[in-house]
Amino acid sequence: MSHLFKNAAVMDVDRGELSTATDVLIENQRIASVGRGLSSSTAQTIDAGGRTLMPGLIDCHLHICADGMGSYPKIFPALVAARASKILRETLMRGFTTVRDAGGADKGYRDAVESDLFPGPRLFVAGRAISQTGGHGDHRNQADFCASCSANLSVVADGVDQVRRAAREELRRGADHIKIMASGGVASPADPIDYVQYSMDELCAIVDEAKRANKYAMAHAYTAPSIARAVEAGVRTIEHGNFLDEATATQMARAGAFLVPTLIVYRRILTHGKEVGVSDLHLEKARQVMEVGSRSLGIARRAGVKMAFGTDLFRAPKEYQSEEFLVRAEVLPAAEIIQSATIIGAEVVGMQGQVGRVVEGYRADLLLVDGNPFDDLSLFQNQGAHIPVIMKDGQIVKNSLAAQ
């Protein structure tokens, strides 16, 4: 079905401006025309009433297979999938039309969304993250001698041959990108934050496998040394990066590497951690990274590092996903934050020129918003309450204006 938005304030994400009284025609899942005075005898007309028409949002660091429960490795895969379907649906209703899973979701989830079995955003998946023994993806208790790890979230591999095989296995299973655990983390029991993980040979081997499959590697990395080594190895996106320093930010910018900060997760872990069984050790780690996290935004910005929007919320409720906008607003201008969740996110997932703008020829991933997000980022809060219309690939998935 064709759709015609009338009288919209169309967002120009590149300039940080809104138009006035503009029409947008949607045909064959794409934006067919943008201008004034458009008409169509076949399109369903939606009167925007001066509301903002903007691109759908992109979250580049989500875990749809983890919803804050502390017992994840112990529950049935069918229950994980059922919970993931709820996360996907609610994420779409917040205005996120594209997401990149950072470990846990496999091709089956992507196929379920594409087949309309699960309503949700367009999905890019990592499969299982690759971790060294005792690394961020090794979820064993320190007293546990069993060699198994969480079979769905991560896989433990050591040495060049093992990491190559692990990367190849995830690629065989349909991964869009490969996730590397390159430093210590908050949620893992055996590795302090400053633990630099994997040798250079191992890092380079994983990146090589991804590149030869025309994919790329993303790396969980908190500290400057772990970030620098990952970038040197050819990793394309750095996740978290809270302890980034100026020299490493310059290295990232020269290499064209992206930073995907995830600041809301630490605040919400500290608020909700006890509810989901997070240990005192994990809470202390969260405090450490939260204290320096916002500082990394300014460092990356001054160096010219492209920053994408990410939330993580691995051990915290996903309902706080959109609060990442408000956390970043403590440091960054609203226009740049919106760019991180649109055009920069599109680059990260390889859809530049296809999503992230309201431009002719682009896929029709669109939001109609009650106000100007450049002036008020709280319009993304309250679970999509201020987003009456959501369109994904030219299909209306929410239209509360129809009931008015």
Distance between CA atoms of residues 138 and 274, nearest Å: 22
Return the beta strands (E) in 163-214 as ranges: 178-181
Whole-number pLDDT of residue 280: 72
In sequence order, the β-bridge partners of residue 219 are 180, 238
Whole-number pLDDT of residue 268: 81
Q: What angle do CA 107, 109, 111 make, to 5 degrees?
A: 70
Joined together, the tokens standing for residue 112 give 């379920």
- State residue 237 phi and psi, 5-degree precision: -130, 135
- State residue 127 phi and psi, 5-degree precision: 65, -140
In sequence order, the β-bridge partners of residue 389 are 368, 399
Return the beta strands (E) in 173-325 as ranges: 178-181, 217-223, 237-243, 258-260
- Can you tell me which residue has the tokens 């060294």? 132
Nearest to 152 by CA among 177, 128, 125: 128
In sequence order, the β-bridge partners of residue 183 are 196
Q: Is residue 179 helix, strand or coil? A: strand
Q: Where are the domains of the chain?
A: 3-55+357-403, 57-348
Q: What is the pLDDT of residues 283-341, one digit of tens each?
A: 776 777 777 778 999 999 999 999 999 999 877 789 999 999 999 999 999 999 999 99
Indicate the pTM of the whole model.
Answer: 0.94
Q: Tell me 56's DSSP state.
A: P
Whole-number pLDDT of residue 274: 66
The CATH number assigned to the domain with range 3-55+357-403 reads 2.30.40.10
Whole-number pLDDT of residue 70: 45
Q: Tell me 51's DSSP state.
A: -
Beta carbons within 8 Å of 351's beta carbon, 6+ residues apart: 98, 363
Q: Are 83 and 67 in contact (CB under 8 A)?
A: yes
The CATH number assigned to the domain with range 57-348 reads 3.20.20.140
Whole-number pLDDT of residue 148: 46
Which positions of the chain have pLDDT values less than 70?
Answer: 68-74, 137-151, 187-190, 273-279, 281-282, 285, 403-404
Instruction: Name the helix (H) or strand (E) containing 397.
Output: strand 395-399
